[in-house]
């Protein structure tokens, strides 16, 4: 029986190459490769950051789009029926550069609007009669099962930076950008709008106001601004605003609390998405 196992091991495909690699010290499995990289780190041939990046480059092929995408509920979109006056606040306050454009709901993505295209056209036409919907670029749709290494190559080849993710039934389940993919390799990429500890859910826009994603936990909001809102009563800032208004918030609605005023910048039929928080001056008492 033991002889049979040995015979089977020698007969499997690639056994001779594996022996050659072992004799020459060449990694023949992923675990062996990671171990070799660890030895290189211990010998100061590479530093820890480089080691972790190399590991992530190798592991990114194991990840699928659905594991790192921005979910449907967190997508910041504009609707093709909105006026320019309605679209501009979403663009300026969200600090994104690309926006899926929908026709009625998020399953009806009709294109991608680039903020730079809109601003360039507005400058040329001085904002008069701007047909912003004519600026849309084609949307790229991909399945949620696509692997990240394949998607990254497609992004590079097409010079496209955003894709809409759909499930097997063709429904939109989220979006993914080239930044989302690169972050799996180099780690979190923060810009001047990101705040430590808020996972990119807070965008600071000035000394007395900011813009937040409605899904920001109340506890995180308290930590950032030193407030004492009850995190047990409300999980998210969107939940706090919804409860205070007594209905699903609508775009443009405003509610005043003791220490700040919340304005709904973006909302869908089920929940708020973006909130503008204006801090109350210390000597000002909000209206009852």
Instruction: Encode pLDDT of 41-57 as tens digits.
Output: 888 888 887 888 788 78
- Is the per-residue pLDDT at 248 higher than 70? yes
Backbone dihedral angles phi then psi of residue 164, each to the nearest 5 degrees: -95, 130
Lowest mean pLDDT segment, chosen from 4-8, 22-26, 218-222:
4-8
HSE of 200, CA atoms in CB hemisphere, 13 A: 11
Phi-psi region of 137 (alpha: psi -120 to 50; beta: other; left: phi over 0): beta
Of 126, 158, 186, which residue constitutes the final position of a domain? 186
Do the domain assignments include residue 113?
yes
Do the domain assignments include residue 126?
yes
Could you tell me the residue range of the domain that residue 130 belongs to? Answer: 66-186
Q: What is residue 1's predicted lDDT score, i.e. its pLDDT?
A: 52
Cα–Cα distance list, 119 to 105, 128, 134, 211 (Å):
25, 13, 13, 21
Question: Could you give the CA distance from residue 51 to residue 185 in angstroms, rounded to a whole number?
Answer: 11
Contacts of 228 (CB under 8 A, 6+ apart): 222
Q: What is residue 197's predicted lDDT score, i.e. its pLDDT?
A: 47
Q: What is the mean pLDDT of residues 225-248?
A: 85
Question: Model confidence over 92-101: pLDDT tens digits?
Answer: 777 788 999 9
Q: What is residue 272's predicted lDDT score, i.e. its pLDDT?
A: 84
Please, where are the H alpha helices in 164-275? Answer: 178-186, 218-225, 237-245
39 and 81 belong to one structural domain: no
Cα–Cα distance list, 151 to 109, 126, 148 (Å):
20, 38, 5
What is the model's pTM?
0.57
173 and 78 belong to one structural domain: yes
- CB distance 238 to 224 below 8 Å: no
Cα–Cα distance list, 100 to 9, 63, 171, 208, 270 (Å):
54, 24, 14, 30, 19
Q: What is residue 25's predicted lDDT score, i.e. its pLDDT?
A: 57
Q: What is residue 218's predicted lDDT score, i.e. its pLDDT?
A: 87
Which of 186, 171, 51, 174 lies closest to 107 in space, CA to CA? 171
Question: Could you give the CA distance from residue 191 to residue 151 in angstroms, rounded to a whole number?
Answer: 23
219 and 250 belong to one structural domain: yes
Which of 270, 251, 271, 83 lies closest to 262 in space, CA to CA? 251
Do the domain assignments include residue 288?
no
110 and 179 belong to one structural domain: yes
Do the domain assignments include residue 196?
no
Beta strands (DSSP E) in the chain are 70-71, 78-79, 98-102, 109-114, 141-143, 162-166, 172-177, 202-204, 209-213, 254-256, 260-267, 272-279
Q: What is residue 100's predicted lDDT score, i.e. its pLDDT?
A: 93
Contacts of 273 (CB under 8 A, 6+ apart): 73, 74, 76, 213, 214, 238, 265, 266, 267
Let me know if 85 is exposed, middle or buried by CB neighbors in 10 A (0-12, 13-18, 19+): exposed
CATH number at residue 150: 3.10.580.10
The DSSP symbol for 109 reads E
Count of domains for the chain: 3
Question: Model confidence over 173-206: pLDDT tens digits?
Answer: 999 998 888 877 776 554 544 444 455 677 655 6
Question: Model confidence over 23-39: pLDDT tens digits?
Answer: 555 666 778 787 888 88
Q: What is the mean pLDDT of residues 222-243?
A: 84
Question: Could you give the CA distance from residue 33 to residue 20 in angstroms, rounded to a whole number?
Answer: 15
Question: Model confidence over 133-169: pLDDT tens digits?
Answer: 888 999 999 999 999 989 999 998 988 899 999 998 8
178 and 78 belong to one structural domain: yes
């Amino acid at each position: 029986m033991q002889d049979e196992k040995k015979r089977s091991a020698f007969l499997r495909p690639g056994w001779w190459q594996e022996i050659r690699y072992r004799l020459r010290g060449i990694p023949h499995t992923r675990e062996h490769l990671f171990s070799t990289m660890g030895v290189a780190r211990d010998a100061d041939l590479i530093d820890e950051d480089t080691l972790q990046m190399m590991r992530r480059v190798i592991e990114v092929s194991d990840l699928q789009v659905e594991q790192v995408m921005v979910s449907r509920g967190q997508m910041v979109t504009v609707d093709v029926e909105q006026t320019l006056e309605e679209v501009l606040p979403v663009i300026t306050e969200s600090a994104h550069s690309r926006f899926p454009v929908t026709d009625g709901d998020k399953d009806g993505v009709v294109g991608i609007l680039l903020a730079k295209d809109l601003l360039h056209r507005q400058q040329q036409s001085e904002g008069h009669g701007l047909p912003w919907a004519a600026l849309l670029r084609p949307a790229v749709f991909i399945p949620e099962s696509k692997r990240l290494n394949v998607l990254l190559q497609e992004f590079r080849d097409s010079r496209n930076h955003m894709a809409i993710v759909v499930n097997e039934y063709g429904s939109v389940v989220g979006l993914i950008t080239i930044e989302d993919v690169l972050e799996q390799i180099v780690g979190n990429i923060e810009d001047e709008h990101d705040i430590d500890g808020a996972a990119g859910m807070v965008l600071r826009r000035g000394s007395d106001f900011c813009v937040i994603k409605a899904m920001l936990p109340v506890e995180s909001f308290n930590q950032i601004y030193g407030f004492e809102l009850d995190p047990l009563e409300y999980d998210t800032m969107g939940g706090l605003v919804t409860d205070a208004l007594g209905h699903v918030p609508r775009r443009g609605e405003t509610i005043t609390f003791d220490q700040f005023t919340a304005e709904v910048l973006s909302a869908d039929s089920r929940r708020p998405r973006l909130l503008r928080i204006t801090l109350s001056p210390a000597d000002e008492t909000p209206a009852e």
